[in-house]
Amino acid sequence: MRQVAVLGATGSIGRSTLDVIQRHPNRYRATVMAAHRSVDDMEALCRTHRPLHAVMGDPQAASVLAERLADVPSVAVSSGAEILDDLVADAAVDTVVAGIVGFAGLRPTLSAARAGKIILLANKEALVSAGGLFMEAVRTGGATLLPVDSEHNAMQQCLPVDLEGRPNMSDVEKIILTASGGPFRGRSRASLDAVTPEEACAHPNWSMGRKISVDSATLANKGLELAEACWLFDRRPEQIEIVVHPQSIVHSMIRYRDGSTLAQLGQPDMRTPIAYCLAWPERVDAGVAPLDIVAAARLDFEAPDLEAFPCLALAQWAITQPGGMCVFSAANEVAVAAFLAGDIRFTDIDKVIAGTLQGIDLVEPESLDAVQALDQAARDVADKQIAGCFTRPEA
Ligand code: NAD
Ligand code: MG
C-alpha cells in the first residue's frame, strides 16, 4: 500500500489525484492532505478519504475544520509550515504529490526531497524559483522525482529512464515543448487590453486552477515550463523548442540524433500523467477516456506569437540571468493575483514582470533563505509597479 501525501488537495491537481487514488483503494491511500483555507471542500474530502492528517495553511481555517470534523477523530487537523514539513518527511508517507500552487509549495516539496520521498511534481513554481537548490536536495536526499506537468510527463515517457526514474539524455538532440496557445491564440496584443479574468480562465482544452489558467493565456506558463524542463532534463534553453499545438493532444516530443522524434499523445486530462507517476514503472487505469485519433483528425503546429504574448519572451530572457526565473515567477504571481482581483489589465501582467525584472538586482540565490529573500524583494517591487503605474480598469 502506497501512502500518499496530497499537497493542494482541494485544487485541480489534488482532486484529480484523489480521483485516481479512489479508483485503486488496494494500491494507494491518501494519508496526508493539505490545503490553504477552503474548509468546506476539505471537510468533504476528509470525510471521503479519511486521511490521518489534514493540514490547513490558514490557522483559522484549521480550527473551523477541526470543529467540523469532531465526529471523525481519526483525522488529526493541524496548521503550520513546520508541521507540514515534518509530515511529508515522516516514515508514514512514501509519495508526495506537490500540488500547491505558487511559491508557497516550495517548503514542503523541499522537505520531501530531503527526506528521499517519491515526489510527483506539479508545482512548477517551486522548481523554477529554487531549481539548483531543489535538484540538489533531490540528489542528496535520494528522492525520486516524477514530473506531473503534462508536457514534462510526456518528455519523461519518451525517454529511457533508470530504476530511480532518472532520464538518460545522451542521444537527445532536442526537446519539443508543446503549448496550447491558450484562449487568446491568434489575437493581437491590442485586442487583449479589455479581456476579463473569466475569459482568461476559460481554457479551450484544460480545466485547471485560476492562476495556471491565466498563465496559459499569457504564455507565462510556457516560460515557467521552459525553465522546468531545463532543470528536470538538464538542458540549456536553446536545446528546447517551443511549438504551439492548439489541440493539446501531443503533450511534447523528444527528437533523437538519428532523426527519430517520439511523442506522447493523450486526452487533455491530468489524471493520465498523475496515474503514470503514481504507478510508475507500472500502469494503472486513470479513468480517462481513450484517445479517439480519428475523431481528433487534425494535429496542427505553429510558432508562438511573442509580440502578442511578451511574457514568454520575458521568461526566455530571465532564464539566462542569475535568479531571473525566481524574480519572473514571483512578479508573475503578484501580477496574476492583481489581474484576477480586477486591479490591473491582462496586458499589464507582462509590464509588471518586465518592470520587476528591471527594478531588482539579479543574483543567484544560493540558499533557501536567499531564495525566500529574492522572492520577497521581487514581490515588493511588483507591488509597487501595480500601485504606482496602473489604474484599475473600467468595470
Ligand atoms: P488550484 O488553484 O486548483 O489549487 C491550488 C491548491 O493549493 C489548493 O488546494 C489550495 O488550497 C492549495 N494552496 C494554495 N496556497 C496554499 C498554501 N499557502 N498552503 C497550503 N496549500 C495551499 O491549482 P492547480 O491548478 O491544481 O495547480 C496546482 C499546481 O500544479 C500549480 O503549481 C500549477 O502550475 C501546477 N499544474 C497544474 C495543472 C492543472 O491542470 N491544474 C497542470 C500542470 C501543472
Ligand atoms: Mg503544462
Give me the chain's average pLDDT, please: 96
- Around ion ligand 2, residues with a beta carbon closer than 5 Å are 149-151
Q: Which of 84, 101, 153, 205 has most ligand 1 atoms within 8 Å of its beta carbon, as the pocket-test mutant?
A: 101
Is residue 391 pLDDT above 60, yes or no? no
> What amino acid occupies position 293?
I
pLDDT band at 96 (very low <50, low <70, confident <90, very high): very high
What is the spatial distance between Cα 62 and Cα 99, in angstroms, rounded to a whole number? 19
> What amino acid occupies position 104?
A
Is residue 365 pLDDT above 80, yes or no? yes
- Ligand 1 surroundings by CB, under 6 angstroms: 8-14, 34-36, 38, 57, 99-101, 104, 122-125, 149, 206, 208-209, 211-212, 270
Q: What is the mean pLDDT of residues 197-205?
A: 95
pLDDT at 2: 97
* pLDDT tens-digit series, residues 320-337: 999 999 999 999 999 999
CB-count burial class (<10 Å; 0-12, 13-18, 19+) for 280: middle
Atom 23 in ligand 1: which residue has the minimum CA distance? 209
Residue 71's contacts (CB-CB under 8 Å, 6 or more residues apart) are none
- Nearest atom in ligand 1 to the alpha carbon of residue 8 is 9
CA of 107 to the centre of ligand 2 (A): 21
Q: What is the mean pLDDT of residues 248-259?
A: 98
Q: What is the mean pLDDT of residues 374-386?
A: 97
CB-count burial class (<10 Å; 0-12, 13-18, 19+) for 170: exposed
Is residue 304 pLDDT above 80, yes or no? yes
* pLDDT tens-digit series, residues 58-88: 999 999 999 999 999 999 999 999 999 999 9
Say if CB 183 and CB 217 are below 8 A apart.
yes
pLDDT band at 389 (very low <50, low <70, confident <90, very high): low
CA of 215 to the centre of ligand 1 (A): 13
pLDDT at 395: 45
Q: What is the mean pLDDT of residues 179-193?
A: 97
Q: What is the mean pLDDT of residues 235-242?
A: 98
CA of 136 to the centre of ligand 2 (A): 23
pLDDT at 388: 73
Is residue 390 pLDDT above 70, yes or no? no
Give the whole-number percent of the chain exceeding pLDDT 90. 97
Q: Residue 193: which of 351, 383, 303, 386 has the closest Cα?
A: 351
What is the spatial distance between Cα 216 and Cα 223, in angstroms, rounded to a whole number? 10
* pLDDT tens-digit series, residues 34-66: 999 999 999 999 999 999 999 999 999 999 999
What is the spatial distance between Cα 122 and Cα 12, in angstroms, rounded to a whole number? 11
Q: What is the DSSP string of 260-328?
A: -EEEEE--S-THHHHHHHHHTTS----SPPPP-HHHH-----B---TTT-HHHHHHHHHTTSTTHHHHH
Which grid cell is 245? 499545438
How many CA atoms within 13 Å lie on the side-chain side of 260? 8
Ligand positioned closest to the Cα atom of 61: 1
Q: What is the mean pLDDT of residues 344-350?
A: 97
pLDDT at 69: 98
Segments of 107-171 assigned E as strands: 118-121, 144-147
What is the spatial distance between Cα 37 and Cα 31, in angstroms, rounded to a whole number? 19
